[in-house]
């Protein structure tokens, strides 16, 4: 894992990556609990759309932890490679542009993943 900021590639340190992994786990657990509740209550198929938000939480956390890049930091022009809360500013405009491009990419990937998981869950189980 890199311990230096790399524009458009790495803006998270180990502690931040671990927190994104926790977010992904929480999103997954909430998704599973909600899906089990919908299945056990024989909810209408359309209610499966409520899975999108927790699947989105999972997807964002998962992708950020895998890519070692925070989309919020990318949009804000910041990075953190140290302790949680030790945020630094990106000053170079080209680096900020690269970070925003990566942040948009992560947001798009997370949305596609969450939509796919929501659709598959709704079609297969509800």
pLDDT digits (tens, 9 = 90+) for 7-47: 999 999 999 999 999 999 999 999 999 999 999 999 999 99
How far is it, in rounded angstroms, from Cα 24 to Cα 54? 9
Report whether 106 contacts 69 (CB < 8 A): yes
**What confidence tier does 3 reach under pLDDT thresholds 50, 70, 90?**
confident
pTM of the model: 0.94
């Amino acid at each position: 894992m890199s311990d230096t900021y790399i524009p458009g590639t790495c803006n998270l340190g180990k502690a931040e990556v671990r927190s994104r992994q926790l977010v992904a786990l929480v999103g997954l657990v909430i998704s599973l609990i909600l899906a089990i509740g919908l299945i056990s209550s024989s909810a209408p198929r359309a209610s499966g759309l409520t899975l999108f938000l927790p699947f989105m939480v999972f997807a964002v956390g998962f992708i950020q932890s895998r890519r070692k890049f925070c989309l919020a930091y990318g949009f804000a022009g910041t990075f953190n490679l140290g302790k949680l809360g030790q945020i630094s500013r990106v000053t170079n405009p080209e680096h900020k542009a690269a970070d925003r491009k990566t942040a948009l990419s992560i947001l798009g990937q997370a949305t596609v993943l969450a939509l796919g998981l929501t659709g598959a869950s709704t079609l297969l189980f509800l």
